[in-house]
Chain A
Amino acid sequence: MKKISLSILSFLVIAVVAMAPISDKYVSTKTHIKFFSTTPVENIEANNYAAVSTLDTGTGDVVFSVPMQGFEFEKALMQEHYNGKDFLNTKKFPKAKLTAKITNLSEIDFSKDGSYAATVSGEMTIKEVSKAINEKGTITVSGGNITVNTKFDLTLSDYGIEFKKGKPASNIAKTIEVTVVAEYNKQ
């Protein structure tokens, strides 16, 4: 009897251990995404600190989910226009998303402190329009934590954001610079 219960117990222990997900997933809720647009007329900047990101060091998957109403502009009117129907239409499309894969995963040692150049390729979705992206970034490993830094250009018309005339056409750049920082912790 004792033997049976012992073997049941050991079976249970093994089952629990085996079923525990072996995850290399890191999560970031400490992020900063910045838009920067420059034209001869003016520079426009918007900042967002509320995006969520995951990074899987085993598969190289990187995901960002960005709450679009979280972008803050210096001028309130500009922020209102940005959120509006003709621009990002954030009521209808409250989130933008990036799903990508690190393509040089073998060159990054997540177990060793250091700074690594990473290349990612994937898809950016804004207003339900998805476009392929291929960008470079830096991954910094420090004491078990991971930080990702990247800067890339985004062409607004790729996502159906276009201004033919008036102030937006002259004041907003056709291609804007996006800067991303995310600090990850192991889940």
Chain B
Amino acid sequence: MTLKKRTKIILLIGIIGAIAASGAVLYMFFMPHRDIQSTKTDYKLSADALVNEYLQNADAANDKYLDEGGKSKVIEVTGVIQSITEDFNRQKVILLKSADALAGVRSTFTEETNASALKAQIGETVTIKGVIRAGAAYDEDLGLYENVILEKADIIK
């Protein structure tokens, strides 16, 4: 009787363990993408300051802002809107760039946040929150300054 009971308990623990393990595997497999807008902001700064940080020392800036698994820093950038366009995924793209700056911050919105980009005006100063994907740099082959790239963006101020 006690032996039977013990077998039952072991069996039960085994089943619970198996369910938990497969749950963990399934969770990993279907793990949702990070919701950037509800993620805590890592850095707040102006578009010019972020661009200059990259132009002065790209390696140090990449080390600070980029993550090995692609979960790079969430940044709030304040700047003047120079242009509002749309990409091939029908996402709004706002370029924050001062008139005399070498490069700006290109922020790509999402299906959920496109509406707030539509309300924005060129010349307006706004604060945009997004995840950084790449920094600013002068590229010799392009013959251009590349902008900082933020994605999953939204205007928060």
A: residues with CB less than 8 A from B are 25, 27, 29-32, 47, 49-50, 52-54, 63, 65, 67-70, 75-77, 79-80, 82-85, 89-91, 94-95, 97, 99, 181, 183
Contacts and interface: CB of A to CB of B under 8 A. Distances in A.
11 contacts: A27-B144, A30-B88, A63-B141, A63-B142, A76-B32, A79-B33, A79-B70, A84-B68, A90-B68, A91-B68, A94-B62
A83 B68 contact: yes
Contacts of B108: 49-50
A68 B135 CA distance: 11
Q: Which 4 A-B pairs have the closest CB atoms?
A: A83-B70, A67-B134, A32-B88, A69-B133
B146 A70 contact: no
A76 B88 contact: no
Given A52-B142, A52-B146, A70-B134, A80 B29 contact: no
B6 interface: no
B59 to A, nearest CB: 10
Prevailing SS type, chain B contact patch: loop
Interface core residue of A89, A94, A99 (most chain B CB under 10 Å) = A94
A72 to B, nearest CB: 8
A27 B145 CA distance: 12
Nearest to B145: A52
Given A32-B89, A69-B134, A75-B31, A80 B70 contact: yes
Nearest to B90: A49
Nearest to B33: A76
Contacts of B120: none
A99 to B, nearest CB: 5
Contact of B30 (A27, A63, A75): A75
A83 B29 contact: no
Nearest to A183: B88
Contacts of A99: 141
B112 interface: no
Given A79-B33, A80-B71, A90-B66, A50 B146 contact: no
Given A25-B143, A50-B108, A76-B34, A67 B68 contact: no
A50 B149 contact: yes
Contacts of B100: none
A30 B87 contact: yes
A94 to B, nearest CB: 5
